[in-house]
Structure 1
Amino acid sequence: MASRASSSLNFPFPLEREELARRLELAREANPDSAAKPHLKYLLAELSTVFWPVRKFYSRYVRAYAVPKAAKPRTVMVLPGFCTSPSRMRYFAELLEGAGHAVKRWGLGFNWGPTEQNLAALEARLLDLFHRAGEPVVLVGWSLGGLFARELAKRQPQAVAKVITMGTPFSYSPRANNAWRIYQFVAGHRVEQPPVGGVMAEKPPVETVALWSANDGVVHPRAACGKPGERDRAIALRCGHMGFAHSHESIEAVARELDRD
């Protein structure tokens, strides 16, 4: 998976005392939204991801797993979830590459939340991939990465073939999740007031597919599934939120979408 790292973009630490206090206040603020959140049992189930390195080793070396060869190889850019980096999706990318796709990193290192600076860098990255590939790029965004993908497709639709989101909270309520307090502390703004973009639920002017799961312990299924008109199609999976980045079920679903015209 090709890299053009610039991990210092939007790195939020260290913080001055006043800024730290402001962000702590954001994290502690009362929740004015009555939107439902994923049940605690699903959140606790996400802890099983600590065993992911063992499962990856098993899939790679003990019982080899591969995605079927692509009918139509694509150029794909993967966008990681909040507080994760492209390395967290390396296994995901390797399997798609094994199927014949050209998988590219987003070039920003860790995902600390949206800013005008990092969105502009992503636009430049997308346009560069588009011109070098000679074809529109498929954007695959996990969680918050999917919000970046949707916004990029709104800004540069000619460069995007399709958007695939995985557990991305683009609908319902921005607080319908178990991570909004952490998000507000790290990103430094209220979750419903991002410094870039417009209406999150507005569908990009390209084919947009939402992968969601009733077992998601971080993002409420209604937020990741969306309504008709907010995406073209929604596909239900059984994995947890962290599983979108490595489960074979999720990778196979993305591979099928890449083969679909």
Structure 2
Amino acid sequence: MLEKLIDDFKLQPPHAVLLALEPLRAISDYVAGIVGPAEALPRGDGHPVIVFPGLALSGAATADLRVRLQQLGYELYDWEQGVNNWPDADFDEWLQRLGAHLQRIHARHGRSVSLIGWSLGGIYARELAKKYPKLVRQVITLATPFTDTGDSTHAGWILTLLNGAAYAVDEALLKRLSVDPPVPSASIYSQTDGVVAWQGCQGKETRCHRNIEVNRVSHMGMVHHPDVLRVVADLLVEPC
């Protein structure tokens, strides 16, 4: 009986209909982003921000978000690692490579850096904040499944295709990824996400961590939708 209850509570990938509708909904979210928020967004204080793209995507996919945030007064940076195909080295060696980029930007501005990560990119942002907490102002993740199980997304087959072998993340790494960073963090998620289980994008609500839902936003449209931009702008302007 106990095993059955545990199985019932396991995260499941989003319904196939949501996955099938992702491309059309992403286009709709993109168009909504062109129209933009109905009201003016708060101006930033000029601190640096790094944006990490999602799986199988490069900085080109986050360019619109970076431009919009730059227009609000922030210093925006791409992650500068090309297409995000999951680490091509040991995970901690990979973080050191990303950390060198973070350290250069921190040294250039002499200010802590906000990290924004979309989907898989949010995993890197959270882990960098754990490794270099003194350099990070805050972490904002967009549809990042950091508390999921390895089989609760539709992204596994993409990783398998990209890497040419069966994709698996061991339990130790999954447990590590679920630990929140010691800096202010927020997870933005949508219950209509067609790629990852929205429940896996939620952490425990604490003084340092918030879960923020945006309604009717697709996974691929997260970096374009005006409601997401509004939330991100409000978070970046908060004193940390």
Band the TM-score falls in, shorter-chain normalisation: 0.7 to 0.9
Greater Cα shift, 211-220 or 112-121 = 112-121
Tell me what 1:82 maps to. 55
Contact 2:143 2:189 in 1 (8 A): yes
Indicate the SS of the match to 1:244.
coil
C-alpha distance in 2, partners of 1:169/1:50?
19
Change (3 A) 1:49 1:85: farther
Q: Which residue of 2 aligns with 1:221?
A: 198
By how many angstroms is 1:125 displaced?
Answer: 0.1
2:73 counterpart of 1:96: no
Matches within 5 A, 1:8-19: none
Aligned to 1:257: 235
Q: Cα distance, 1:50 vs. partner?
A: 6.6
**Residues matched between the structures, number:** 225
| Kept in 1: contact 2:11–2:199 (CA 8 A) | no
> Which residue type is aligned with residue 149 of structure 2?
S
Distance 1:195 1:183, change over 3 A: farther
Instruction: Tell me the CA shift for residue 150 of structure 1.
Output: 0.7
Distance 1:106 1:140 in 2: 10
Q: Relative to structure 1, is the Cα distance of residues 156 and 196 closer, same or farther in structure 2, using a 3 angstrom cutoff? A: farther
1:47 CA displacement: 1.5
Gaps of 5+ in 1: 1-32
Q: Which residue of the partner structure matches residue 225 of structure 2? A: 247
- Distance across 1 between alignment mates of 2:158 and 2:30: 28
Following superposition, the deviation at residue 118 of structure 1 comes to 3.5
Which SS does the other structure have where 1:222 is aligned?
helix
| Unmatched runs of 5 consecutive residues or more in structure 2 | 1-8
1:1-261 alignment to 2 at 5 Å?
35-48=11-24, 51=27, 55=31, 59=34, 68-114=41-87, 115-116=89-90, 117-187=93-163, 188=165, 190-193=167-170, 199-228=176-205, 232-238=209-215, 239-261=217-239
Please state how far the C-alpha of 1:250 moved relative to its aligned partner: 1.1
Greater relative contact order (Cα < 8 A, sep 6+)? 2
Shift of 1:185: 3.6
Q: Is the 8 A contact 2:29 2:218 kept in 1?
A: no
- TM-score, with structure 2 as normaliser: 0.83
CA change 1:256–1:229 in 2 (3 A) is: closer
**Distance change >3 Å, CA 41–CA 79, structure 1 → 2:** same
CA distance in 2, matches of 1:226, 1:214: 15
Please, what TM-score do these two structures have when normalized by structure 1? 0.77
